[in-house]
Amino acid sequence: MDIFDKCRDWKEHRLAKAAGVYPYFLPIAENHGTEVTIGGKRLIMAGSNNYLGLTKHPKVIAAAEDALLRFGTSNNGSRFLNGTLELHEQLEERLARFMGKEAALVYSTGYLTNLGSISALADKGDVVILDKDAHACIVDGARLSFGDVKRFRHNDIRDLERVLSSVPAKSGKLIVVDGLYSMEGDLAPLPDVVRLAREYNARLLVDDAHGIGVLGARGAGACEAMNVEDQVDLVMGTFSKSFASLGGFIAGPKAVMDYLRHHARALIFSASMTPASVAAALASLEIIETEPALRERLRQISIKMRSGFRAQGLEVGHGAETPIVPIFIGDRLKTMQVWKKILDRGVFVNAILVPAVAPGRDLLRTSYMAAHQDDQLDTILKVVGEVHEEVGLELVSKEG
């Protein structure tokens, strides 16, 4: 048997391309902030994680340009050896203060942050307990560890307690949940998770990649918004969302950060964040801390879009005032077809299919930026409404 046989036999992408509804890897020619150019056509971008709209912010661009001139394009090494800049340490110090933790550690990507941190922390005899909707990097980090992995139903506190009660008391336990879930835009019930973590002597890691910069009075994320900052052991974040850059970090006790610094393979054996990326993240953090009006604008946009879609009779889930607004369709092929109709009318959204979501929960993921203008939002609502009238976007199935 040839190990490449499965590659040649896999045809789904070719079928979707032949049908003209393949929704992935579209090359963007130009990024205009709230709009992009694809295939020579200018589209409203309603599928980006650039929640605060900072990727085109003059201060962020200027900081990246300055770092590029000072340090060049790459550090040409890992943090462990020659790849640590003073900028990296400045960013870690600033993040620790911002997140209200003793220390922080910066990785090259958000994916590597969870991969490296979880796999390093969980040893043989330990148990990692994950929400079933946890991001792939959380799942992969748990699988790469030497610990056992258990799952509980999404945001189901009773099921979490069932799992915790089944774990031997002598085992080390790490609960991992998202603060703001990236596909459906809903929040973890963090106060209840914190209560159970304490009751069962477990540690808690909150992946708040999509919440930091967006939620909370100062933008510190879901933990701040739910008043559990000092009760959560570890918080993970990324720079590819609100921070308008690339990279990731974890914040928590200094002893844990020092341990990860010397044991997390994803940190030790990866090239460090580029100088421009670090500088952009630092500049974005400054804006997050000093311009709360961006978060309020984003909150108002989120309310407008969720309410607008609901008024059209669409199923948008149970998310609160978050910038991730799903439109549930529930059928794989129909989701791709609807995505294409919306794209052809000048709006870019994301088609999210199994296995990224549970069976029967295929959806269009729309997401918003503080920089979106009202006329752009009205156009998005109009386009989605037109497609809804044409084909119907009602949820086909609620299985899973």
**Maximal C-alpha separation, the chain:** 61
Closest residue by Cα to residue 349 from 18, 11, 24, 7: 24
Q: Is the pLDDT of residue 123 over 90?
A: yes
- Ranges 9-13, 58-62, 110-114: which has the least confidence: 9-13
Average pLDDT of 350-369? 93
pLDDT of residue 398: 46
Task: Please compute, for residue 180, the number of CA atoms within 13 A of its CA located in the half-sphere on the CB side.
Answer: 32
User: Helix axis angle, 374-391 relative to 293-311, nearest 10°?
Assistant: 20
Tell me which architecture the domain covering 5-56+292-391 has in CATH.
Answer: Alpha-Beta Complex (3.90)
Taking only the tens place, the pLDDT of each residue in 292-319 is 999 999 999 999 999 999 999 999 987 7
Taking only the tens place, the pLDDT of each residue in 256-295 is 999 999 999 999 999 999 999 999 999 999 999 999 999 9
Q: Is the pLDDT of residue 115 over 60?
A: yes
Cα 78 to Cα 116: distance, rounded to the nearest angstrom? 14
Q: Is the pLDDT of residue 353 over 80?
A: yes
Cα 166 to Cα 37: distance, rounded to the nearest angstrom? 52
Q: What is the DSSP string of 104-159?
A: EEEESSHHHHHHHHHHHH--TT-EEEEETT--HHHHHHHHHSSSEEEEE-TT-HHH
Q: What count of other Cβ atoms lies within 10 Å of the Cβ of residue 17?
A: 11
Residue 14 tokens, joined: 């070719």
Beta bridge partners of 104: 251
Strands (E) in 181-323, as ranges, are 203-207, 234-238, 248-252
pLDDT of residue 90: 98
Closest residue by Cα to residue 89 from 102, 108, 103, 70: 103
User: Helix axis angle, 136-144 relative to 110-121, nearest 10°?
Assistant: 30
Strands (E) in the chain, as ranges, are 28-31, 35-38, 41-45, 103-107, 127-131, 148-152, 173-178, 203-207, 234-238, 248-252, 324-328, 347-348, 350-352, 363-367
pLDDT of residue 393: 80
In this prediction, residue 367 has a pLDDT band, given cuts at 50, 70 and 90, of very high
Taking only the tens place, the pLDDT of each residue in 1-55 is 999 999 999 998 999 999 999 999 999 999 999 999 999 999 999 999 999 999 9
Domain boundaries, the chain: 5-56+292-391, 58-290
Cut 0.85: pTM above it = yes
pLDDT of residue 134: 95
Q: What is the 3-state secondary structure (H, E, C) of 335-373?
A: HHHHHHHHHHCCEECEEECCCCCCCCCCEEEEECCCCCC
pLDDT of residue 392: 82
Residue 242 tokens, joined: 């609100």
pLDDT of residue 318: 79
- CATH code at 58-290: 3.40.640.10
pLDDT of residue 396: 62
Q: Is the pLDDT of residue 357 over 90?
A: no
In this prediction, residue 173 has a pLDDT band, given cuts at 50, 70 and 90, of very high
3-state secondary structure of 43: strand
Average pLDDT of 333-349? 97
Q: Is the pLDDT of residue 355 over 60?
A: yes
Taking only the tens place, the pLDDT of each residue in 138-170 is 999 999 999 999 999 999 999 999 999 999 999
Residue 197 tokens, joined: 């973590």
